[in-house]
Amino acid sequence: MTRDFTDQREITSTWVLLFSVLALLTTGCGTTNQPSITTSSDPKAITFAIDARDYREIGGVLAQSLLADEELDLKQTEVMALGPVEDDNCLYRFDARKLQEKLQTVLFRAGKVQVSFAVDAMKENSAARARYSIMQLQWEKANTVNAEDLQAFGRLADIDYLLFGRVASQVSTRRRAEEVTYTFNWKLGDCRSGLLVWTYEEERAKSGLAPTLPGWVTDPRGDSKHYLYALGRAQRSGTRQGVLESAKQDAEKVFAERVNAQLDSRKGFVRPVNARRVDAEQAPQGQHVIRSAFRYSAWRLMRVPRKWYEAEIAKRKTALETWNHAESAFTQATTANDPEKKAILSRRALALLEQIVDEYPVGAQTYVFSERALFRIADIWMRFDNPWEARRCCQRILDHSANERFRETAAARLEEMPITKESRSRAALMRIFFGRTVRLACTYSLDGTLSRWRSMEEKLASCIRQAHAVVLDPPDLELQEMLDTASGKRKVSEPDADIVIAAAFEGNAITRANPEVPSRHDARLEGSAYMRGIADGKPFCSCSLSGARNGWSSGGKNERVANMASNLFERHFRDAMLNASTAKTSEE
């Protein structure tokens, strides 16, 4: 006949019967109390976890110890705040607030000191919260607090004492018997002196027949300030180590689901957290294994740092916001009629998409965006005649994706995106000019006479428009100012344009009789040429040539000026801009 589990096992609990007396005897002269350990049992106990009666008794003992210490000299006008209770080394569920409420009730009835909760005392005081966080970290790491921080917190929160606590559990099993020992450590800080003026430690042990499933399995503990907890379960044949690993993976799935529940990844562009990328650790003594004839069953209490959880959520939310902003800007760009607005919106969209590719690479630890997102970015780049950047997205997928189908698609797309010299040059120029507003200041001086260099303006404008720049009217400058800007003698200041390019030629027109037709004259230009590019107020490219000249021709001065513009642009000025764009790409 099979009996019910609760009938089958009677848990015996060893409790402190004389702990109140011991606490009173050990307080007084000294400020440190020795651990109190009970020797008797309680046949009515039904759990190894801390229950309602335990909270009441622990709170009573703690209050009696505080009130009996004559050296404290607590006054009714003083305020004691109940501070942090660290429980990361406690396997079982522990409710610090419930214990503090029991302590508050006993102290309130004694009427010897006012009692509040530290979190309530600093609710509206950010400076007090900052100090409290610092002390909490000190307490958890070094079991003490800094005197200056304690004093500052007391002034800011208007309290006189702050009580710190720590609880840990230790499980020991021998044959069918089990004992859980809880160790409580308390310290009271005087916020006026900054010193610890009272300490107390107590051990409470619960013992009895070991249950089939421990209490931390049937009633798993909750999260703490520093960790998130999850119970992993597994049942399988094989080895003990194998089933334990499966239980760990089960808990890691829970952590991944908790992160993903905070995100909106319905569009499929932002990848949810993969459980395989969660690296959880086991809580102290947090594993239980049962072996039957042919299989194992395992339970593991796992935890991950809360900082990891919050960082994963923040990272993916930021990524999703970046994607949404990029999509919004691109949608506006495709519907905009004004060329300038269209280019600026496109630049904003592609700048965000570049950020996505650069900061969230596929296959790396920061793997956030899916292959679908990178394919979409590649399509957008192709719409702007930039196979170079489109190939970069597909290459990321080919190099890092674990999905064979995605890799095959990426390889096929790369075949469809040939790189030519022209497309490479356009891609390089886009790094600087895409969606930017540009003003061109071009002038030439022949034999001391200044003129606007329209042929050079046309060459430059045609080039940068292929990079989807918006070419504005020339700046409102005198011709001499344009010349000085190109040569570097004048500082550029054009707040209504992102980029200014100044180009100039300064020299003389030389003539000679045509060797074949002496009645006609040939001409050529000789002198110095300059070009400067300024983006966002900073120079990004420059070119300076002395002894610039072109060939003899009978086409006249204007034709020679246009020829000089073509020669300088093709041989020098365009290369200067391409080199600057390449250097910018390398820096990024």
Three-state secondary structure along 192-242?
Answer: CCCCEEEEEEEEEEEEEECCCCCHHHHCCCCCCCCEEEEEEEEEECCCHHH
The whole-angstrom separation of Cα 90 and Cα 92 is: 6
The whole-angstrom separation of Cα 485 and Cα 22 is: 90
Beta 499-513 vs 521-535: how paired, if at all? antiparallel
Q: What is the pLDDT of residue 142?
A: 64
Domain 434-582 bears CATH identifier 1.10.3470: no
The whole-angstrom separation of Cα 226 and Cα 195 is: 26
How many C-beta atoms lie closer than 10 Å to residue 346's C-beta?
22
Q: What is the pLDDT along the chain (588 residues), one digit of tens a residue?
A: 333 323 333 333 333 333 333 333 333 333 444 444 443 344 444 578 898 999 999 999 999 999 888 888 888 888 898 988 999 999 999 999 999 999 999 998 888 888 888 877 676 667 777 777 777 766 766 667 788 888 888 888 888 999 989 999 999 988 788 899 999 999 999 988 888 899 999 999 998 888 889 999 999 999 998 899 999 999 988 899 999 999 999 999 999 999 988 887 666 788 888 888 898 999 999 999 999 878 999 999 999 999 999 998 888 888 888 888 888 888 888 888 887 777 778 878 878 877 777 777 655 555 677 888 888 888 888 888 888 888 888 988 888 888 899 999 999 999 988 888 788 888 888 888 888 889 999 999 988 899 999 999 999 999 988 888 889 888 888 889 888 888 888 887 656 788 999 999 999 988 887 777 777 788 888 999 999 998 888 888 899 988 888 888 877 788 888 998 999 998 898 888 888 876 554 444
How many C-beta atoms lie closer than 10 Å to residue 386's C-beta?
25
Q: What is the pLDDT of residue 511?
A: 82
Type of residue at 212: T
Angle at Cα 231 formed by Cα 227 and Cα 237, nearest 5°?
140
According to DSSP, the residues that pair with 549 across neighbouring strands are 526
The whole-angstrom separation of Cα 113 and Cα 160 is: 10
What element of type H or E holds 565?
Answer: helix 557-568
Cα distances from 110 to residues 64, 78, 201, 312, 403, in angstroms, run 10, 14, 22, 48, 68
Q: What is the pLDDT of residue 265?
A: 62
Q: What is the pLDDT of residue 529?
A: 92
The whole-angstrom separation of Cα 428 and Cα 408 is: 28
Q: What is the pLDDT of residue 141?
A: 63
Domain locations along the chain: 5-209, 227-309, 310-431, 434-582
According to DSSP, the residues that pair with 116 across neighbouring strands are 81
By the 10 Å C-beta count (0-12 exposed, 13-18 middle, 19+ buried), 27 is classed as: buried
The whole-angstrom separation of Cα 154 and Cα 162 is: 8
State CA 459 to chain mean position distance: 45
The whole-angstrom separation of Cα 37 and Cα 205 is: 7
- Classified by CATH at the fold level, domain 5-209 comes out as Rossmann fold (3.40.50)
CATH architecture of 227-309: Roll (3.10)
First vs last C-alpha separation in the chain: 75
Q: What is the pLDDT of residue 2?
A: 34
* Angle between helix 339-359 and 371-383 (nearest 10): 150
What is the DSSP secondary-structure string of 311-380?
HHHHHHHHHHHHHHHHHHHHHHHHH--SHHHHHHHHHHHHHHHHHHHHHS-TTSTT--B-HHHHHHHHHH
Angle at Cα 135 formed by Cα 133 and Cα 137, nearest 5°?
70
Contact 326, 318 (CB under 8 A): no
- Pinpoint the alpha helices (H) of 404-490: 404-415, 421-433, 454-465, 479-487
By the 10 Å C-beta count (0-12 exposed, 13-18 middle, 19+ buried), 478 is classed as: exposed
Residue showing tokens 């650069």? 358
Contact 230, 36 (CB under 8 A): no
Q: What is the pLDDT of residue 350?
A: 78
Q: What is the pLDDT of residue 298?
A: 95
- Pinpoint the alpha helices (H) of 89-179: 96-110, 118-121, 126-142, 147-157
The whole-angstrom separation of Cα 243 and Cα 237 is: 8
Cα distances from 485 to residues 66, 333, 491, 500, in angstroms, run 81, 33, 6, 10
The whole-angstrom separation of Cα 372 and Cα 395 is: 13
Contact 171, 162 (CB under 8 A): no
Angle at Cα 130 formed by Cα 66 and Cα 63, nearest 5°?
10
According to DSSP, the residues that pair with 530 across neighbouring strands are 504, 544
How many C-beta atoms lie closer than 10 Å to residue 14's C-beta?
20
The pTM of this model reads 0.66
The whole-angstrom separation of Cα 81 and Cα 158 is: 10
Cα distances from 236 to residues 174, 242, 293, in angstroms, run 26, 8, 11
Beta 161-174 vs 177-190: how paired, if at all? antiparallel
The whole-angstrom separation of Cα 390 and Cα 381 is: 5
Q: What is the pLDDT of residue 40?
A: 35
Type of residue at 116: S
Q: Which residues make Cβ contacts (< 8 Å) with residue 520, sequence separation at least 6?
A: 513, 514, 554
Beta 437-446 vs 499-513: how paired, if at all? parallel
